[in-house]
Structure 1
């Protein structure tokens, strides 16, 4: 066992033993090789089922990293470019003055369509055709490319419908055929997860969270216009069978080692599979849109589908890191400078990324 493996395992063991976490997975890749694969805790406290490296977790927005990867693989194969107008692939999308939205705008959260209808229900989110129709009928919040605002749910449907129009296939099928399957993780990385497989999932639980902060916020904040509170990421929402079965590619179900392997294959060769060229990797990981997030108010910096800068830092401090974090504290990021990937998945939904930051500190010390 390597020193890194020992250190990471000790850290995840402590996270569980201290009561901070219930079940945790960590996977670390370096230069295309899995160099740490650590698990601890319970996937299901009710039955005593332990977390293994093959236990999938529903990780909310961590799945956007896979959604973006599918788009880049198709762009690599010439099905569209980043500057292709969305209406060229999806003509109905152009209603209400949206003809100027490009694939690049969608990938950088600058398209101006960050919200779903405020009367949307969880059942609606599982209805692909209904959500696509809502986007076709939507009006822009801003001129595409002039502002940045996190497209929490709409990112998945926008990219997913672009993929469907370009290939004739749902994005779950393209993920399996072009990304997860070739990487050997087709049974660990999903958008829509077949009901027969859902018993393998880790059971989510909500960490205690002070919701009073929302009561202190003005009612007219843009984030409250981007979707109803019934769609706020919680253990109950992420445990619904319809939510788990449906294609909602703003999130995903994955193991740490599967999403880490995907990022490693964006960086370079993984057992003979490389998802995109070095030239495209540079384009994907260059800051393309940045500034205050119009919806949530935080500073933001985006490459093409990926946040630039490590969690708890800024793009200026860690400009070579790119990836996606998920509501609840899971995250997966890669570093173009060192060829390192760090992924952490967990089933206790916390409001911070303390667990990921702790693992990252251990891993980055070994590469500095």
Structure 2
């Protein structure tokens, strides 16, 4: 049984057992698409089946594409990793953030992890308002000294830097710099065009949403740390340019990651630089130890301790996951519409792929 059939078997089993509702998995290995599999329904209400063209809102898995835009800015000579944010965004250089660099943004060490000013999900479509609030915020630590997950501010930090040096919003950059050149227009979105909304899978919560009450001593607002189907099904939210999250097909984001590895988007020497350990420490938001490359957690999700941490990628709340591994040549993505509290499905599929073809590296 080849890998395509092995993955399809697992997907069918997950759907039949009720563990998952609808999924896509795509895997590239050194220039070859080795898996393109789907199972289940995109919408439980209508029974519409998942197809390879179904779009899935996948929360923070989209951060991988925001980081890719940052690397393309560097590769095109518009900025470098140690460019001061305030050099291109002067309003940001206040209240102790004067020393913050793009490197600090990419390693979540800027110190503004929470969305400031009481802004909520409904405000994120107002780009100018959000960026003004972030620019005026007090950092929780001196930039570059600590790290803490920036769930929503990350995309606006990268995005406003990109906007200042290109004059273009992130959604357009993702299309013009990544999707269109790779022939995957319509398969990678920060803001979904109204005409494409009917292609989306409908998300569902695997468990009843917990009450939105702040955790004592917590840094994030409840909505920032707890993914909910209602957010990912809201058409206004889906159409907004919010580059901390993303909507895509599994094969679309896998194609983009593969193009990072094979030189179509990123030069080999830049891949070597961006995939090195850039910061290690305790995450100030969640309290876990973390090791970061430039723009990505370093190491495959759930990998055993003896596996070299070379994968670059982002999981997304509810269980989606996508990564590229320069060492093995694997690009992998799983998208799904049932928002589970863990990543057991993604880890099971990733383990299977790595066991089958990672050894061939």
What secondary structure does 1:250 align onto? coil
In structure 2, the gaps of 5 or more residues are none
TM-score (norm 1): 0.93
| Cα gap change, 1:22 to 1:118, in 2 (>3 Å) | farther
Superposition map of 1:105-254 within 5 A: 105-117=104-116, 119-208=118-207, 211=210, 219-220=216-217, 224-229=218-223, 232-254=226-248
Tell whether 2:315 aligns with 1:321.
no
User: Counterpart in 2 of 1:268?
Assistant: 262
Tell whether 2:12 aligns with 1:10.
no
Query: 4+ residue runs of structure 1 moved beyond 6 angstroms?
Result: none
Displacement of 1:51 in angstroms is: 0.3
| Cα gap change, 1:201 to 1:248, in 2 (>3 Å) | same
User: Do 1:43 and 1:55's aligned partners in 2 also have CA atoms closer than 8 Å?
Assistant: yes
User: Counterpart in 2 of 1:335?
Assistant: 325
Displacement of 1:227 in angstroms is: 2.6
What secondary structure does 2:314 align onto? strand
User: Counterpart in 2 of 1:80?
Assistant: 79
User: Counterpart in 2 of 1:301?
Assistant: 291
The CA deviation string for residues 207-246 of structure 1, in whole angstroms up to 9 with x for no partner, is 016849x98x9611xxx33334377320001111111010
User: Counterpart in 1 of 2:356?
Assistant: 366
User: Do 1:180 and 1:186's aligned partners in 2 also have CA atoms closer than 8 Å?
Assistant: yes
- CA distance in 2 between counterparts of 1:218 and 1:226 reads 9
- CA distance in 2 between counterparts of 1:170 and 1:315 reads 40
What secondary structure does 1:311 align onto? coil
User: Do 1:122 and 1:231's aligned partners in 2 also have CA atoms closer than 8 Å?
Assistant: no
What secondary structure does 1:35 align onto? strand
Tell whether 2:253 aligns with 1:259.
yes
Superposition map of 1:18-33 within 5 A: 18-33=17-32
- CA distance in 1 between counterparts of 2:305 and 2:162 reads 29
Tell whether 2:97 aligns with 1:98.
yes
User: Do 1:290 and 1:302's aligned partners in 2 also have CA atoms closer than 8 Å?
Assistant: yes
User: Do 1:308 and 1:315's aligned partners in 2 also have CA atoms closer than 8 Å?
Assistant: no
In structure 1, the gaps of 5 or more residues are none
Count of paired positions:
358
| Cα gap change, 1:302 to 1:317, in 2 (>3 Å) | same
